[in-house]
Amino acid sequence: MDLESELRKAMAEQVSGASAPSSLVADVKRRHRRRKTRIHAAAGAVAASVAALALVPTYQSFRATPAGNSETTRPTSTVSAFQQPERPPAPGLSRPPSAKGRSGAGATRHPEHPPGGPGGGARKPGIGGLHDLPSWVTYLPDGLTAAAPCAVTGNAHRKTTTCKWRGDVGWVEIVLVKGGLAGPQELMKSTGIPGRTSVRGTPALTGDLPGSGRQISWLAGPNVGVTVSAGGSVTGHLMRIAEGVRP
């Protein structure tokens, strides 16, 4: 007897007393169904993952870009969508020079003369556009013209400067006296009883003049007296003119 026969005999004697349970076939079938179910579930999960990965590029290509994104707001061309393309000139006509080619294009044009006239200097408010006023006169109503250059009289002890302006609105006279003054009463021209007021806190005298005119006189400094007279509608500016005198 050979070795193979001996092994078969031994195996048969070993299992001769064993018997298979009645539910063996059912258990084998149930385990087979469970294994197939797990295999199908795993295959479905793998297929779903592959499909999801394949759809990602497609989703990115169709995804709406948020408002304000530079990718959508950035123009694809430097030419505006509403700008009409430049048409070539008709045959025989020369092309007009572009704005960049014209000399001085886009540059700010400056007036030939500065404000206030060719003489230069900005116009001061409330002086009627006059530019030959004394430096110590800072206000005059509009509508007045210098009647003549300011006149200077007197000597080294007492000097008087008289300036006059006239116009349709009335007239103004300013007299500046330097030296030999005891008080504003020496500057008054009216014959009536003067009234009292002040110019920038300095006591002053006022009085009426013939022809509906008025005057105001005060000492603007040591031995420096000022008299401002006005007639016509500019009389209402008398106090403002006086306050504008700064000798």
Residue 48 lies in a domain: yes
Residue 47 lies in a domain: yes
User: What's the pTM value of the predicted model, to 2 decimals?
Assistant: 0.49
Q: Please check the confidence at residue 23 and state whether its pLDDT lies above 80.
A: no
Give the three-state DSSP class for 228: strand
Residue 8 lies in a domain: no
Q: What is the mean pLDDT of residues 22-34?
A: 82
Give the three-state DSSP class for 170: strand
Residue 95 lies in a domain: no
The 3-state DSSP composition of the chain as helix, strand, coil percent (nearest 5) reads 30, 25, 45
Residue 50 lies in a domain: yes
Residue 133 lies in a domain: no
Residue 185 lies in a domain: yes
Quick one: pLDDT at residue 190? 73
- Per the CB < 8 A criterion, the answer to whether 142 and 130 are in contact is no
- Could you list the residue range(s) of the whole structural domain that residue 38 is in? 32-62
Q: Please check the confidence at residue 107 and state whether its pLDDT lies above 50.
A: no
> Going by C-beta distance under 8 Å and a sequence separation of 6 or more, which residues neighbour residue 227?
173, 174, 175, 177, 187, 188, 189, 215, 216, 217
Quick one: pLDDT at residue 108? 44
- Domain termination site, one of 62, 82, 104: 62
> Going by C-beta distance under 8 Å and a sequence separation of 6 or more, which residues neighbour residue 141?
126, 128, 169, 172, 234, 237, 241
Give me the number of domains the chain comprises. 2
- Domain termination site, one of 62, 84, 103: 62
Amino acid identity, position 30: R
Amino acid identity, position 78: T
Q: Please check the confidence at residue 99 and state whether its pLDDT lies above 70.
A: no
Residue 74 lies in a domain: no
- For residue 68, CA distances in Å to 59, 60, 79, 212 come to 20, 18, 20, 75
Quick one: pLDDT at residue 47? 82
pLDDT digits (tens, 9 = 90+) for 131-187: 568 999 999 999 999 999 999 999 988 999 999 999 999 999 999 999 988 888 888
215 versus 46: the higher-pLDDT residue is 215
Quick one: pLDDT at residue 185? 86
pLDDT digits (tens, 9 = 90+) for 205-218: 999 988 889 999 99
